[in-house]
């Protein structure tokens, strides 16, 4: 009998990984040449690698670990659940206590008028569920022509065929035969990069009106829904001007187009409200969620369905021929219920809104005085630093876009802080449990990272010849 290979050193793990593991969103050849970092442990706001480095997890894993790492109560809840009922499906006239209780718990924190939940294993499946559910809804209420989705450039809605198609990431569309048909594209509300001479408020309205243009070009009678992240996460923490979302809502309502808020990142407290749509001041018809709902302790996602769509489906839809083996997995439901309990017991959404959020925001925004930083923005605990060689013109660095961002990101990891690079920006989304001393450490490290990046940028001549 052969046992599965085990290893106990960085070199051995790297060897096995390089030989057998294909990583998501990675160039395997380049990764293997560089040598992958092995993360072995996590506690609170920190991760630890196999060489003993302690690194502040400024990205909450991958936007997940809202309540911090190593929470015994969540681990115990999952273990207890799996001992009691490891798995059963929710397809064929059965449910289990966790799925019933979690759907009610989510409805209780969801915006008013959103009482139903459909479970998936993650965010991409939630987005694909929206495509099928919304089209089925319109067909069920006698409007089968309403099938088109409007989505934005530089949106991220996941990696499945449907999710990646709704997403507006050109490198993803370049592989694997995407996008699927039936999707039209609208502008993103990215003032820093695209606002030109307009004020953020005017630019927000302009970007919103591009949603109207896209809907009208397709014909409102053919358009099922508009989907957007309240704040674009993977696209670079793009915080829309305050004028944007209310105008998008008005445009969708006037045209009877459903509004879908993709809250896989913004949902469950990241903005200091339970949902990003509440922070941005709009009321969606459907909300997709994942990540923070279980704080990453177990894969679980889903769709919160507003009453209009839910009633249409329930009254007129008949069988909904859609679902995943792990829809409402008992372990995921237990993880989510335990996570929600911690969020409520420790009042973590209010902590993000009134306490650690403002504390970090103030210090983060002060980084804008650094010569490399053009804009330092943050809402709740989700933020970005736009790096630029020339603040007034928001100029780009010479050389390939993204070079400086990657440089800064690598320096940051080395200095003991996880930030993610998107183009030439750095993004941040730390756990809600971050303490004030940890926030101070985060900012001090970020400043060291900026200094070291600036030195390297000058050394490599990336600053741009004509800029001082
Ligand atoms: N919608 C949004 C808004 C997301 O951010 C998904 C859907 C898909 O979720 P799943 O659970 O299927 O991954 C996401 C996921 C990054 C990064 O680099 C972001 C995500 C996933 C992977 C990487 O910022 N977001």
Neighbours of 290 (CB within 10 A): 29
Q: What is the pLDDT of residues 141-192, one digit of tens each?
A: 999 999 999 999 999 999 999 999 999 999 999 999 999 999 999 999 999 9
Is residue 381 classed as helix, strand or coil in its secondary structure? Answer: coil
Given a cut of 60, whether residue 230 has pLDDT beyond it is: yes
Q: What are the percentages of helix, strand and coil residues in the chain, rounded to 5?
A: 45, 15, 40
Residue 296 CA neighbour count, 13 Å, CB half: 16
List, in order of start, the domains of the chain with CATH numbers: 44-67+350-467 (3.90.1150.10), 73-345 (3.40.640.10)
Which is the closest atom of ligand 1 to the Cα of 158? Answer: 8
Tell me how far the alpha carbon of residue 124 lies from the centroid of ligand 1, in angstroms.
7
Joined together, the tokens standing for residue 278 give 């509440």
Given a cut of 90, whether residue 464 has pLDDT beyond it is: no
Given a cut of 90, whether residue 463 has pLDDT beyond it is: no
Q: What is the pLDDT of residue 465?
A: 53
Q: What is the pLDDT of residue 434?
A: 98
Given a cut of 80, whether residue 4 has pLDDT beyond it is: no
Tell me how far the alpha carbon of residue 262 lies from the centroid of ligand 1, in angstroms.
10
Please give the mean pLDDT across all residues of the chain.
Answer: 96
Residue 23 buriedness (CB in 10 A; 0-12 / 13-18 / 19+): exposed
Q: What is the pLDDT of residue 352?
A: 98
- Which of 119, 127, 156 gets mutated to test ligand 1 (max ligand atoms within 8 A of its CB)? 156
Given a cut of 50, whether residue 1 has pLDDT beyond it is: no
Given a cut of 70, whether residue 2 has pLDDT beyond it is: no
- Which of 24, 64, 123, 263 gets mutated to test ligand 1 (max ligand atoms within 8 A of its CB)? 123
Which is the closest atom of ligand 1 to the Cα of 125? Answer: 12
Q: What is the pLDDT of residue 3?
A: 58
What residues are in contact with ligand 1 under a 6 Å CB criterion? 62, 122-124, 127, 156-158, 163, 229, 233-234, 262, 264-265, 290, 301, 420
Predicted confidence band of residue 196 (pLDDT cuts 50, 70, 90): very high
Given a cut of 80, whether residue 348 has pLDDT beyond it is: yes
**Atom 9 in ligand 1: residue holding the nearest Cα:** 123
- DSSP letters, 309-355, are HHHHIIIII-------TTTT-HHHHHHHHHHHHHHHHTTHHHHHHHT
- State how far Cα 305 lies from the chain centre: 19
Given a cut of 70, whether residue 119 has pLDDT beyond it is: yes
Contact 388, 342 (CB under 8 A): no
**Atom 17 in ligand 1: residue holding the nearest Cα:** 234
Predicted confidence band of residue 6 (pLDDT cuts 50, 70, 90): confident
């Amino acid at each position: 009998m052969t046992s599965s290979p085990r290893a106990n050193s960085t070199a051995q793990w790297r060897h096995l990984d390089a030989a057998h593991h294909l990583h998501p969103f990675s160039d395997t050849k380049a990764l293997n040449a560089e040598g992958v970092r092995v993360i072995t442990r996590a506690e609170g706001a920190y991760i630890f690698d196999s060489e003993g480095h302690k690194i502040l997890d400024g990205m909450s894993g991958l936007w997940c670990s809202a309540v911090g790492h190593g929470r015994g109560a969540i681990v115990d809840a999952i273990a207890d659940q799996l001992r009691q009922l490891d798995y059963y499906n929710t397809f064929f006239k059965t449910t289990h206590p966790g799925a019933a209780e979690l759907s009610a718990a989510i409805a209780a924190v969801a915006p008013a008028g959103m009482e139903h939940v459909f479970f998936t294993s993650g965010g991409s499946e939630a987005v694909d569920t929206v495509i099928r559910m919304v089209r089925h809804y319109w067909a069920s209420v006698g409007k089968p022509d309403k099938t088109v989705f409007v989505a934005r450039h530089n949106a991220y809605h996941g990696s499945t065929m449907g999710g990646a198609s709704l997403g507006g990431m050109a490198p993803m569309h370049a592989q694997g035969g995407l996008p699927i048909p039936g999707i039209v594209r609208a502008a993103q509300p990215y003032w820093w990069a695209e606002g030109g001479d307009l004020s953020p408020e005017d630019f927000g309205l302009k970007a919103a009106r591009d949603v109207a243009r896209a809907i009208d070009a397709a014909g409102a009678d053919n358009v099922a829904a508009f989907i957007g992240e309240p704040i674009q996460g993977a696209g670079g923490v793009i915080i829309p001007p305050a004028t944007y979302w209310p105008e998008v809502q008005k445009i969708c309502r006037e045209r009877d187009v459903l509004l879908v808020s993709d809250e896989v990142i913004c949902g469950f407290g990241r903005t200091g409200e339970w949902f990003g749509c509440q922070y941005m001041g709009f009321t969606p018809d459907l909300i997709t969620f994942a990540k923070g709902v279980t704080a990453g302790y177990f894969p679980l996602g889903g769709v919160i369905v507003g009453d209009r769509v839910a009633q249409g489906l329930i009254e007129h839809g008949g069988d909904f021929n859609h679902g995943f083996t792990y829809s409402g997995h008992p372990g995921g439901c237990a993880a989510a219920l335990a996570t929600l309990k911690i969020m409520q017991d420790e009042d973590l959404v209010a902590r993000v809104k009134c306490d650690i959020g403002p504390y970090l925001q103030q210090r983060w925004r002060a980084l804008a005085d650094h010569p490399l930083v053009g804009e330092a923005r943050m809402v709740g605990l989700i933020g970005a630093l736009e790096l630029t060689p020339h603040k007034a013109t928001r100029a780009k660095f010479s050389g390939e876009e993204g070079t400086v961002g990657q440089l800064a990101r690598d320096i940051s990891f080395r200095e003991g802080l996880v930030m993610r690079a998107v183009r030439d920006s750095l993004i941040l989304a730390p756990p809600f449990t971050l303490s004030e001393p940890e926030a101070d450490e985060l900012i001090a490290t970020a400043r060291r990272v900026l200094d070291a990046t600036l030195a390297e940028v000058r050394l490599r001549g990336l600053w741009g010849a004509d800029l001082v």
